Amino acid sequence: MAASFLAEFLKLRKRPAAWVLMLVWTTVVILFGYLFTYSFVSAPAPEDAPREQRAQQEAFSEELLSTLMPENLLENLFVNGTFAIGGAIVLILGALASGSEYGWGTLKTVLTQRPGRLGAFSGKLLALGAILVLFVLVGLAAGSLGSLVVARLEDAAVDWPPLRELAKGLGVGVLIFAVWGSLGFALAVLFRGTPLAIGLGLAYALAVENAIAALPIESEAFEDVRSLMLGENTSSVSGYFGSSSQAFGAPEPLVEPGRAALVLTAYTVGFILLAAFFFRRRDVT
């Protein structure tokens, strides 16, 4: 397994697409996490607006600005949805990690070496896991840089979250990326290629989940279904770091963070087992 891991890690490390996705992820953190919000909060309220409206906007801006400060790094990255967007990016990475082998026909090259199918599969998965941890660390680092710059611009104190909270942030980030990355990985194994896997994965992540969440149905059964969905649990697990500002108009999470973590873990294991089953059993033609 170690030999397969080293081989797979070399492939991913040298793959330009992996670095492009990391660059996209870093840009997402900086743009959506900090730059856009800071541009909004630093814009002065219109002079001719009624006093009540100006006061409301200033209060909202202040609340937003506080989330951009270093002490609220995790709240900003997780609760405000930056890591949820990152999930879509790592879904692509997961699909590329397994699906490209089918497109290039390299699976036969891999599987005619020594490790055997499960050895090759485990190596592939471990290498993806290692890269996902790197993605989480880069996300946290980019967020730290963004918050540091905002604090400097605002002449505010630089207080970081306690180390324990940062470790929890790393864990939750890895969990979110693991579930979305393994979804992409499993879809690509299932469809023996990347295009359909990425297309369906992104359609689910960006359209289906949101459309279902927006349905005007108020029943317990519907909420039970929603509470099992990936996106809902991704939002809910972020509840470890606070709740979304009501000013954003975001709904309260349906699931308690601990349960959401369990659901995401179960999904990750399920996706991996599904991929392993097809990877091991199918003919390579």
Partner 1 sequence: MDDMPLVETRGLTKRYGQRITAVDNLDLAVWRGEVYGFLGPNGAGKTTTLRMLLGLIEPTSGTASVLGEEPGSPASLGGVGALVESPAFYPYLSGYDNLRVISRYAGVPRPRIGEVLETVELSARAKDRFKKYSLGMKQRLGVAAALLKDPELLILDEPTNGLDPKGMADMRALVRELGRGGRTVLLSSHLLGEVEQICDRVGVIHKGTLVAEGTVAELRGEEGLLVRAEPLEEARQISESLRGVEGVRVADGMLRLTTEPGRAAEINAKLVSAGLRVSELRPVEQSLEEVFLELTGGETV
Q: Which residues bind partner 1 (CB under 8 A)?
A: 3-4, 6-7, 10-11, 14-16, 104-106, 108-117, 119-120, 123, 281, 283-285
Cα 249 off chain centre by:
21
* Closer of 33 and 123 to partner 1 (Cβ): 123
The nearest distance, CB 105 to partner 1, in angstroms, is 4
* Closer of 105 and 162 to partner 1 (Cβ): 105
The nearest distance, CB 61 to partner 1, in angstroms, is 46
The nearest distance, CB 190 to partner 1, in angstroms, is 18
The nearest distance, CB 235 to partner 1, in angstroms, is 36
* Closer of 108 and 152 to partner 1 (Cβ): 108
Question: The tokens 């709904």 sit on which residue?
Answer: 251
The nearest distance, CB 86 to partner 1, in angstroms, is 24
Cβ(197)–Cβ(220) below 8 Å: no
Largest pairwise CA distance in the chain: 74
* Closer of 192 and 226 to partner 1 (Cβ): 192
* Closer of 106 and 243 to partner 1 (Cβ): 106
